[in-house]
Chain A
């Protein structure tokens, strides 16, 4: 089973994402900010990361930039999932090494469609 790390400071969003991704047969790990997420990745690199942008301590973009420099950090497929929905933000995330981008609000169909797009399902 593939693991997906869900990174979001909102426990509600994490719960919603978990439910959707578990139905898509992922094992879920959670983190509430970028720093926690980075620790989690150093312990065990997940196959996929669903990543919020605005979070306390370390935001999603900084996390992504650091992740990509870690050994094996190029492997996880990173899908941003954020309310930042303007072209400038999206382009920045993609340049930083994101694989796909979900603009909140999202639903099951969007997550499924995006995960299919990047070949995770």
Chain B
């Protein structure tokens, strides 16, 4: 293994949690050479030297970290989490938050915005049930670049065709040339913030629902566990954690337990009422 590979591996692991395995060495080349060239250096070893002298907030360090993130996302990704959101989570909070009339949602790796916007659209579709409620969506990501794109809410024809039903496209987007711009009123339902999951994030407050999907997969075991433990502390006692289709908390933490029959949906192990087993067809008995 080359010396600079070792350097980048350590650098990325410290900065973003990314685990770079030797078989991914080609990614360094393809993703970092453009960054290197822009910085006026012509090779990865040179880039490594420059980085080794960089401070935490050096733009070059940030560019390198961002360039190595994988930002793929699509609207209503995997579908099931959004069905669960509508049919399990929202009905639960409609009862348990009837006094506060407020539900706080966090997208912990929002990337280019498809996930928070899919939630915002679902909320809007439920407007009749949620009238008088405050639904707050906080969307965070490590990468400033993807957040800028998310905030702009402008998608290519290719992007809007991955997961967005055509009727929703007509209803919530405005076409401009060959791009599609999301309705500004949906944009304003979401608060955007840059956030590294390796850092402390208690300042975000308490959430009822956390979508943390397709980001832990890039971390090592220890980092995954640590992020989940921190997330647990920010979840309301009857809150939900949603993970990606190929992800699980099993083996990483005992703080969460899988929700019965709901893949990818978790609640706190300490939760008293089995919130997760609540079904829309079996309304909870009021004691």
Contacts and interface: CB of A to CB of B under 8 A. Distances in A.
Interface of A: 85-87, 90-91, 94, 100-103, 106-107, 109-110, 113-114, 116-117
Contacts of B166: 90, 94, 100-101
Contacts of B87: none
A113 B77 CA distance: 10
A121 to B, nearest CB: 12
B162 A113 contact: yes
A117 B158 CA distance: 16
A87 B166 CA distance: 10
Interface string B62-78: 00000000000010000
Contacts of B178: 85
Given A87-B170, A116-B79, A109 B175 contact: no
Contacts of B163: 113, 117
B162 A110 contact: yes
Contacts of A87: 170, 175
Contact of B170 (A90, A102, A103, A113): A90
A64 to B, nearest CB: 14
A86 B167 CA distance: 13
B61 to A, nearest CB: 34
| Among all A-B residue pairs, the 6 with the closest Cβ atoms | A101-B166, A110-B161, A113-B162, A87-B175, A117-B165, A103-B157
Contacts of A90: 166, 169-170
A107 B159 CA distance: 12
A94 B74 contact: no
Nearest to A110: B161
B121 to A, nearest CB: 14
A108 to B, nearest CB: 11
Contacts of A109: 162
Interface string B165-198: 1110110000100100000000000000000000
A101 B79 CA distance: 18
A113 B161 contact: yes
A27 to B, nearest CB: 25
Nearest to A79: B166
Given A94-B170, A102-B161, A109-B162, 11 more contacts: A85-B157, A85-B178, A90-B166, A94-B166, A100-B165, A106-B161, A110-B158, A113-B161, A114-B161, A116-B79, A117-B165
Interface string B245-282: 00000000000000000000000000000000000000
Contacts of B79: 116
B245 to A, nearest CB: 13
Contacts of B158: 107, 110
14 contacts: A86-B175, A94-B166, A94-B167, A100-B165, A101-B166, A102-B161, A103-B161, A106-B161, A107-B158, A110-B162, A113-B163, A114-B161, A116-B79, A117-B163
A32 B223 CA distance: 56
